Amino acid sequence: MSDPVWAIAIHGGASAPSKEDYSEEIGFMRVVLTKAKKQLSKGGSALDVVQEAVRALEDSGHHIAGKGSSPNTDGKFELDAAIMDGDNRNAGAVGALRGFKNPIDCAREVLDHSPHLFLVGKGAARLMKKRGMERVHNASKYYKPAVSTPVEKGQLQHGTVGAVALDSEGRLAAATSTGGLLNAVPGRIGDTPLIGSGTWADERVAVSCCGQGEFFMRCVAAADLSARIRYTKSDLQTAASCVLEDISLMGGQGGLIAIDRLGRVTMPFNTITMKRGFATWRDEIDVKVF
């Protein structure tokens, strides 16, 4: 009897290189993948695994998400996240959320406990308070921006984090979280929490994107990848490459991770670096930056 098929992929954002040594980030991502691998091999659900993986990446401070988020021009921290269950296409998302430790957990609360799919700002905060989600009471002490100075013109510095998974029951799920752009306009929301743009999961594929969100929104990138598989019968790698090519042709930069229902993984990007890694039922764990 063959082993159950499962797979997990994670990313820590696509960007211009900010340093020479990424050994700490690589080591931490291996830890995240090792834990996810153990959960999936024991029958854990894809939805729970991607949530936990993204939560760990948020808490690490290595990326522009969670603890490593960047302030906007008002000096406030507004965070976005989304999670989607490919088994039934249910989803939850939060945008411009202030004062809560783990946006991905807040997105899961929307999925599980709200009749709505996407909540922003004060409305999202109201539900999270009601649900007792962990707060950040002193933002200046808690947040340690992974990027503290603007990069040179033309360079991309994004640290969005994400995870996609296939579990042993054949269910796919995706989760993405971001702390936004350094010095963004207050209220700016990118592709991360927009279902179909930065995050998507259905019965064919799970996708999490990172990069210049406005371009991914214009391409409805994550859902487009699934549509290419469905309507053109493209394989996973071809569909992902075509989506990223469209973004490149418009002048956009970024990358994505995706897993299909056969456990195949692809992680294309058009930037110099994208922190990324995967593990599968074949006992593989691989993490790369360049």
Q: Which residue range is the domain that position 162 belongs to?
A: 7-288
H or E segment at 205? strand 205-211
What is the per-residue pLDDT across 119-135, written as a single tens digit (0 to 9) for each? 999 999 999 999 999 99
Number of domains in the chain: 1
The CATH code of the domain that includes 81 is: 3.60.20.30
- In this structure, is residue 1 part of a structural domain? no
Average pLDDT of every residue of the chain: 95
- In this structure, is residue 239 part of a structural domain? yes
Angle at 139 between CA 142 and CA 73, to 5 degrees: 125
What pLDDT, on the 0 to 100 scale, is given for residue 154?
A: 45
Q: Over 90: is that where the pLDDT of 19 sits?
A: no
Confidence at 155, pLDDT banded by 50, 70, 90: very low
- In this structure, is residue 79 part of a structural domain? yes
What distance in Å separates the CA atoms of residue 229 and residue 163, rounded to the nearest whole number? Answer: 20
What distance in Å separates the CA atoms of residue 205 and residue 229, rounded to the nearest whole number? Answer: 9
Q: Dihedral, CA atoms, 141, 144, 147, 149, nearest 10 degrees?
A: 30
Residues 6+ apart with CB under 8 A from 244: 254, 255, 256, 268, 269, 270
- In this structure, is residue 20 part of a structural domain? yes
- In this structure, is residue 230 part of a structural domain? yes
DSSP code, position 237: H
Gyration radius (Cα) of the chain, Å? 17
Q: Which of 4-13, 34-43, 144-153, 261-270 has the lowest mean pLDDT?
A: 144-153
Q: Which residues are catalytic?
A: 160
